[in-house]
Structure formats: C-alpha cells, structure tokens
Amino acid sequence: MKKISTVLIIFVCCLVCTVKGQVSDLSLTDCIALAIKNNPTLKQGELQVSRADLYYKQAKYNRLPNLNGNISHDLTQGRSIDPTTNQYIDKSNSSGRQSLNLSLPIFNGFAILHDIRMRSNAKDAGKLEFEGQLNELKLNVIEAYIKVLTAQDMLKQTEGQLTVTKEQLQRSEIMHREGNINPGDFYDLKGQYSAELNILEQTKQSLNNARVSLAALLNIAPEELPGLRVVDTAPKAQTQSAKELFEKSLFNMPNYKAMDWRIKEMEESVKLAKADYFPSLSLSGGMSTNYSREGGSFSSQYKNNLYKGIGLNLSIPIFNKFQTRTQVRLAEVNLASAELDREILKNELRSKTAQAVFDLAITQENLQNLREQELNYTEAFRISTVHFEAGNSNSVLFLTAKNKLDAVKSQLIIKEYEWLMQKYINDYYAGSLDL
C-alpha cells in the first residue's frame, strides 16, 4: 500500500510539472494576444481611433446653440458713472451686471453638415487603418516568433554538429598519443572543433537577438519571455495565382479600403472650404440686468433694469485676401494627394502579392531539393566516416563530407521556417490570417 502511495505521489508531481510546462510555454496565438494587449504602438492607434470618434461627436454637437451666462461686479471710487442711472457720481460705489446670451447657427453654407460627414469618413478610415495596424502587428509577431524557433533549431543543429566533431576529436587524441594518426588530420579536427565552437556562440547570439525582438513586440523584458511552442512547418498552403491574391488583397486589406474613406473625407473637406463663399445667418438672443449700491434694493433693480432682445445676424463675405480660395485649392490638392496615395498603395499591393506568390512557390521547390540533398549527403557522410575511422581516408575528405551535410541541414531548417513565413504572408494578403 505504501509503495502504491509513493508511485501515486510521483505520478501527480510529474503531471503537475507537465501542466506547469505547458502553461509557461507560449504558443504563437498566445504571443499575438499578448502583443495586442501590451504593444504601445498599437495602443497609440487605439487612441487615434478614439480621437477621431471625439472629433465626429463634436462635429454633431456643433449644430446645438451656444448659451453663455456672465456675472460681473465692480468697485469704483471717485468720479464715475452709475450704470443704473448713467449719471456721474463722485463717491465710492459698487455695481454689478448679469447677462445670458444665446446664439444659434441657421445657415453657414452647409459647413456644419460637411464637417460632420468629413469627420464621419475620417472615423471610418481610422478604424480600418487601426485594423491594418493590428494585422501588421500580427505579421511582425509571427516573423519574430519564427526567427526564435529558427534560432533554437539552429542551436540544436550546431550542438549536434559539435558533438560529432568532439567524438572524432577525442578518438583522434587517443590515436595521436599512440602515433596512429596523421598529425595533420589530428590538428585539422582540432581546428574544426574550434570553428564550430565559434559558430555555436554566434548561434546563441542570434537566438538572444531574436528573443529580444519578440519580447519588444510583446512589451515585456527579454528575461521574462518564456519558452515557445513549436509550430508545424509543413501546413497546407492555398495555391493561387498572383492575380487572384492581388484581387483578394484589394478586397481584404484594411489599409487599402481605408483609402476610399480618406478620399471621401477629402471630398467633404473641399465642400467645407467652399462653404466660406456663402453668407452665414445666425439667430441671437439675450437678456441682461444691472444693479448699483445707490439704486435701491437688488430685486427692484433686477426688474426695472432687465433687458431682453433677439436678432438675426447676416454675414456676407466680400473680400478676405483670397484666404477662402486658397483654402479651397489646398483642400483640392489634398484630395488629389489622397487619390494618388490609393493608386500608390494599389501598385505596391500588386508587386508585393506577385512577389509573395513567387516566393512561396520557389521556397517549396528549394525545400524539395534540400531534402533530397540531405539524403544524399547523409549517405556520403556515413561512407566517409567509415573510411576515415578505418584509416583509409584523411581529415580533408571527412570534414568536407561533414561540412556539406551540416550546411544542407542548416539550410533545410532555415528554408522550412522561411516557407512557413511565406505561407503566413500569403494568408496576410488574402485576408485569411486567422490567429
């Protein structure tokens, strides 16, 4: 019974350790979620969306009237005018005034309407641009994540290479002491071992740099970045032509769709600038009263001195140093610039999608060639090792075969992750980056 309890405790401990390991390691989806939550650049984009929404709300509030109240109190000494009697007095006095004023725009060339529409278009464009920032952040996290995985696998590969060289070096040291090996072969192996130690340190540096870059996107300290879960380097990729991917990108890329709203925003800004050519009509009204210490009770003065008024104000633009015309032309220039920006982005998407489709296809072909190459070099290295250990070969032939195999294994690791990155890039342009 005691033995069973001990086994059960060990099993539970192992299970807990396994669960903890799973929790501590981050998946690609976890990293993307963490970046979306913490990335300061993305938070700046959120603030920009909030700012555009506030501008839009204020544009609608501009249809409301202005209502202002004013209270003032004066202390005078010497010769002055009593505000309640308009008579000169030659003694100290205290007086005050209260007023309430209302103004309401009636017509201003539809400036308020065009401003509302302009701000609404800007808000919609901002939302799409933020969505584009979000997708770009996802792609950046994917790239940084894959670089870490690539560096990790390269480190394992380098350590494996070093182990093989070390085993041969230890064997050669024994033979060298016994005088059973060519000294040139022995020192050649020692030099190879030192070179691979340097490669190992460089690979560790590459891994550290990759982890630092990923941690920066997640807005955490590099030492706080836990382990990363491996990803499938051979997922299925959708086969499509450059034309198909380009057409999908025009429909799915938020930044391109945002350009349509930016153009509409600029069109409304032209109409807003032209509104200053028209007369403006507004309604105003107000009431006021005043009092003086010499005028009697406050309540009687408030009633006797009460003033009420209402009026219409018409302003007709005649000449303002061509400022309105200049503003209209500047708005038209901004509109033309927005249209060109959309054309530039469209052209960039055409070239980038074509490049993405080509890179995915060529990387797939490279992978097939490298896998076949790895099989051939593996067999060549096996044969070279047998001959070298039997004393029928030399270090040059052995290390040449080894370096060829090591190189193709490293290239295969890099190319597998490169293919995965190209697959994600194609998904990005196709709007199917579901992470």
Q: List, in order, residues 6 or more apart from 75 with CB less than 8 Å away.
A: 92, 93, 94
User: pLDDT-based confidence at 239, cuts 50/70/90?
Assistant: confident
Question: Is 276 or 85 the better-scoring residue by pLDDT?
Answer: 276
Sign of the four-CA dihedral 200, 205, 208, 213: negative
Burial 163-196 (b: 16+ CB within 10 A, else e): eebeebbeebeebbeeeebeeebbebbeebbeeb
21 pLDDT more than 90: no
Q: What is the pLDDT of residues 355-367, one digit of tens each?
A: 999 999 999 999 9
79 pLDDT more than 90: no
Q: Sort 138 into a burial class: Cβ within 10 Å, 0-12 / 13-18 / 19+.
A: buried
2 pLDDT more than 70: no
1 pLDDT more than 50: no
* Residue 288 and residue 307 in contact, taking contact as beta carbons nearer than 8 Å: yes
Tokens representing residue 391 in the block: 């004393």
Q: Which of 126-135, 197-206, 302-311 has the lowest mean pLDDT?
A: 302-311
In the predicted model, what is the mean pLDDT of residues 100-125? 95
pLDDT score for 31: 96
Q: What is the pLDDT of residues 325-335, one digit of tens each?
A: 999 999 999 99
Q: What is the pLDDT of residues 182-238, one digit of tens each?
A: 889 889 999 999 999 999 999 999 999 999 999 999 999 999 999 999 998 877 777
